[in-house]
């Protein structure tokens, strides 16, 4: 699909101006003016001849101007379509709207800096970093004795955080050792922990 659009565009770019120039050359009125002008030009010096050839050159260029403008607008719309398709879910809308030129300027100002694929990678990377951060925070609270809620440094035998009252350890009701609040069995005396000592 993309190739067909590009081929059609290139064909229009090349053949459009050629057809236009041929049409101008074939126009009898234009030929008449050139023929009428020729004897006068030959009588004068080479300098006006040079300028008249430049004038003729621009005469052939001027009919191409509308084609060039049209081709530029279509080229811009195609670029917007392909670019917006990668960055948004509305490539067709942006592309067609850009034929009116003003939406193209709006698109240039609003254009997302990343493509959809890049955004997915960035989000996945951010997720990974968040998980890593949470993991290391967890490791820190477990091994470096920092309150997991407020970050206050605590001692390994603290039962609660002195700053935010978070329960850090509970006491085994059977042997009295300090246990992780999430444990349901005491690793020292193997007694099951059903109730928290604070609630008892």
Contact residues toward Zn ion (CB under 5 A) are 147, 149-150, 152, 161, 163-164, 166, 172, 174-175, 186, 188-189
How far is 180 from 172, CA to CA, in rounded Å?
10
Report the nearest approach of Zn ion to the CB of residue 183 (Å).
10
In the complex with Zn ion, which residue's Cβ is closer, 106 or 175?
175
Least separation in angstroms between residue 139's CB and Zn ion is 17
Which residues, 6+ apart, have CB-to-CB distance to 92 below 8 Å?
Answer: 81, 85
Residue pair 179/192 in contact (Cβ under 8 Å)? The answer is no
Nearer of residues 91 and 197 to Zn ion, judged by Cβ: 197
Measured from the Cβ of residue 41, the count of other Cβ atoms closer than 10 Å reads 15
**Least Å from the CB of residue 184 to Zn ion:** 12
Question: Least distance from C-beta 156 to Zn ion, angstroms?
Answer: 15
> Is residue 161 within 8 Å of 168, Cβ to Cβ?
yes
Smallest distance, Å, CB 155 to Zn ion? Answer: 13
When the beta carbons of 16 and 151 are compared against Zn ion, the nearer one is: 151
Contact 76, 98 (CB under 8 A): yes
Using CA atoms, how far apart are residues 50 and 46, in angstroms rounded to an integer? 6
What DSSP string runs through 12-55?
HHHHHHHHHHHHHHH-HHHHHHHHHHHHHHHHS-HHHHHHHHHH
66 or 187: CB nearest Zn ion: 187
Nearer residue to Zn ion within complex by CB, 3 or 192: 192
Strand pairing class (170-171; 178-179): antiparallel
């Amino acid at each position: 699909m993309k190739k067909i659009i590009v081929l059609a565009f290139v064909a229009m770019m090349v053949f459009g101006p050629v057809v236009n120039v041929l049409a101008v050359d074939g126009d009898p009125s234009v030929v008449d003016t050139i023929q009428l002008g020729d004897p006068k030009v030959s009588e004068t010096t080479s300098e006006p001849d040079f300028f008249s050839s430049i004038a003729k050159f621009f005469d052939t260029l001027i009919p191409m101007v509308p084609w060039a403008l049209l081709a530029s607008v279509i080229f811009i719309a195609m670029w917007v379509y392909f670019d917006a398709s990668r960055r948004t879910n509305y490539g067709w809308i942006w592309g067609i709207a850009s034929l009116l030129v003003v939406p193209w300027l709006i698109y240039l100002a609003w254009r997302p800096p990343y493509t959809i694929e890049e955004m997915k990678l960035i989000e996945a990377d951010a997720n990974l970093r968040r998980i890593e951060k949470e993991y290391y925070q967890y490791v820190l609270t477990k091994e470096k004795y920092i309150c997991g809620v407020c970050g206050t440094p605590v001692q390994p035998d603290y039962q609660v955080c002195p700053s935010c009252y978070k329960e850090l350890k509970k006491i085994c009701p059977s042997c009295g050792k300090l246990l992780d609040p999430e444990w349901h069995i005491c690793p020292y005396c193997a007694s099951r922990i059903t109730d928290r000592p604070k609630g008892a």
